[in-house]
Structure 1
Amino acid sequence: MKTMVSQSTELTRCTVCNEDAEPLTCEAYLKFMAFLPPNYKYCLCNYTVQNGNISCISLRLPISTEEGARTWFSQFQEKSLTTMRVDRTHPLSGRKNVFKISYRCQHLTRSKATANEKFATKNTNCRASALITVKRTVKYSRSTDRHDKEYAMVVKMNFDHNHVLESADALRYRDVAHSTVQKFIQLFIAFCPA
């Protein structure tokens, strides 16, 4: 089943993975699609719905390089108003994966010291995470993966944040945008006494 989300974004339900998955409600579908970057083809493999929202999801995309995966993930963070930090990197196996990295929500800080209760803290012990894997595609393979070889990138996300994403309290901890940094650098260069 294909669904056109916008003129350039296409979502296809996987015929291999979710034969017995519960149907998505329109509200949960639209909420999650609002987070996905446009101009990509998506293959929806598995998902779990909790309280009317998609909490765990497995997607496949037709991206076969590390640069493409990093670009997609940065666009995802901008669109979803989340900031994910690298949780762990996986060694380059070479035979199976081109790229593999795990991310966690920035609101899981793992601080050793206990913060003073009077001050606001970024740590909410948020369990949201993402695992991005770009699989190597070869013409002849003994792999038992029955997915289409076009969709080389696998994204597994636990998108169950324990904080509101669009609140001022959560947004104030986001990184400064690259365009804002460039504007300040240009101002510094323009007004620097020579």
Structure 2
Amino acid sequence: MMTNHKEAQETADIWKSTPKKHKAVTKKHPILTAKTVSSRETRIKDISTGLDKVKTSQANNSVESCSGLSIPAIESTVHNDQFLQLKEYLPQTSAYIIEKFQHLELETFLAAPPCALQVHFWLQVDTAASAQTWIQQLEEKTKTTYRITKGTAYGTTGKRIIFKTVRLCQHKRKTPTKKMPIKKFDHVREGCERSTRDKKTGCPSTLSVTIMSPDKHMKHPLYPCLVKLLFNHNHPIDSGHALSFRPISETARKAYVHLFEDGNSASSARHEYVTSLQLEYDGSQAMQRVLADHSINPITQDVQRLFQSWRLMTVGAENGTPMFVRLNTEINRYNKFTEADGGKVHMQQYTAHTDSKLDIPSHSQDHPYCKPKEVKQQTESPFVLAIVTPLMARVHKLVQQAGEMVFCDATASLDRLNTPVFIISAATAAGGHYR
């Protein structure tokens, strides 16, 4: 037994020192090699089990220097003062593993950002939706906006990378190319002075978010999202001018939609919304900053666009083919609902036809050089919508006078198309009834 054990140990040493391309040991000693392989697999399992225990102990003994930010003790490379800086800019809804932290040179202009840094960290995010949510939280906390320069499908194959996006600060000016309109970059090409409302300052701040596949990425299995943030803005991030370029937030959109649903127009909804903001922040130092923030307080033109898009989604188009398609849908639904009570709606859609014919003057029909003249005639079918409610159908059926004499009243200026409305009524013993 001792001899066999000694030979097995020697064979195991030969197995470790032999390159992979040499298979002589396996052929000469098949029985001993099988035992060696089984013992090797056992050692590998023991090593993996030990690594899992180390990871568990690291997770249990993690150092939390601030709320939401945690670093395992083994990978602790960030000091407490740096943690406090990250706490001001990073959302505290997830845990982080900081991989790189570097201070950059601060800007010296008036109202410059108090911090400039470059940081790489791993985030506990594993889906594209959660990554988008984290980016929105970062933009809300830092009062900045990052625009997509390369889409979510950039570099994504699904094997090693699940999601990837590269974004630039919205104050970054794109490099003008030949395909871009020249007027948009006149001051760049010709050196003209910029407008006071120009938001492009050439900001170098960038944001890169990449979600690795858990099967391929083994460095931090519980933190598959790698974020590279270059936070060195060359413009104020909390001034009224910078806040006026922020996109409308989802909270403001929902508030305006609620006002539209209550029957407000665009102007009345904006007046009520701004009044509520002034009452909420009355006497506060943040009121001027809130009113200047475009994400909280959109301008009148943007409120008009919100109202138009909401009306298009809920009511439909106000003219053209989409309007008639929506009317047909509503008519079919109304006729089906009131069919048992006699209600009915009929529509004649507006159509326009153009016909061409040859016009030959009568005095020159026999003239050899006279050419006929082409005349275009346009015929139109007007838009007509006839509505008969169940009450009207009942009056027309039971009241004899409804088929003998009627009264007609026309009303206009009811919509943008100035469509006239004709109300037809009949005289009865009970008084006038709409027909």
If the TM-score is normalised by the length of the shorter chain, which range does it land in?
0.7 to 0.9
Q: What is the match of residue 129 of structure 1? A: 206
Point out where structure 2 has 5 or more consecutive residues left out of the alignment.
1-61, 107-114, 175-183, 266-314, 316-435
Q: 1:37 aligns with which of 88, 91, 97?
A: 91
- The Cα of 1:33 is off from its aligned counterpart by 1.6
Residue 156 of structure 1: how far off its partner (Å): 0.4
Q: Which has the higher contact order (CA 8 A, sep 6+)?
A: 1
How has the CA–CA distance of structure 1 residues 41 and 191 changed in structure 2, closer, same or farther, with 3 Å as cutoff? Answer: same
The 3 A distance-change label for structure 1 pair 15 and 101 is farther
Q: Deviations over 1:50-107 (max 9, x none)?
A: 2474521101011111111111111111111111100112142111100001010000
- Cα RMSD for the two superposed structures: 2.6
Percent identity for Structure 1 against Structure 2: 21
CA distance in 2, matches of 1:82, 1:31: 17
State the match for 1:96 in structure 2: 160
Higher strand share: 1
In the alignment, structure 1 residue 105 sits paired with structure 2 residue 178 = no
Output the CA distance in 1 between the equivalents of 2:197 and 2:72: 42
SS in 1 for 2:261: helix
Contact 2:116 2:233 in 1 (8 A): no
Q: How many residue pairs are counted as aligned between the two chains?
A: 182
Q: Tell me which residue corresponds to 2:129.
A: 67
The answer to whether the Cα contact below 8 Å between 1:13 and 1:45 also exists between their aligned partners in 2 is no
After superposition, where does 1:10-21 map in structure 2 within 5 Å? 10-12=69-71, 15=74
Q: Say whether 1:152 aligns with 2:216.
A: no
Kindly state the Cα deviation for residue 116 of structure 1 after the two structures are TM-superposed: 4.9
Higher Cα Rg, which structure: 2
Report deviation, 1:13.
6.0
Q: Could you tell me the TM-score, scaled by structure 1's length? A: 0.82
Q: TM-score, normalised by structure 2?
A: 0.39
How far apart are residue 36 of structure 1 and its match? 1.0
Relative to total residues, which structure has the larger helix share, 1 or 2?
A: 2
Matched, 1:173 2:245: yes
Query: Structure 1 residues 32 and 4, CA, compared in 2 at 3 Å: closer, same or farther?
Result: closer
Instruction: Tell me by how many angstroms 1:166 deviates.
Output: 1.2
State the secondary structure of the residue aligned to 2:186.
coil
Distance 1:88 1:157 in 2: 16
| 1:118/1:87 CA distance change after superposition, 3 Å | closer
| Alignment match of 1:47 (pick from 65, 79, 101) | 101
Structure 1: gaps of 5 or more residues? none
Deviating beyond 4 angstroms after TM superposition, the runs of 4 or more aligned structure 1 residues are 13-16
For 2:103, what is the secondary structure of its paired residue?
Answer: strand
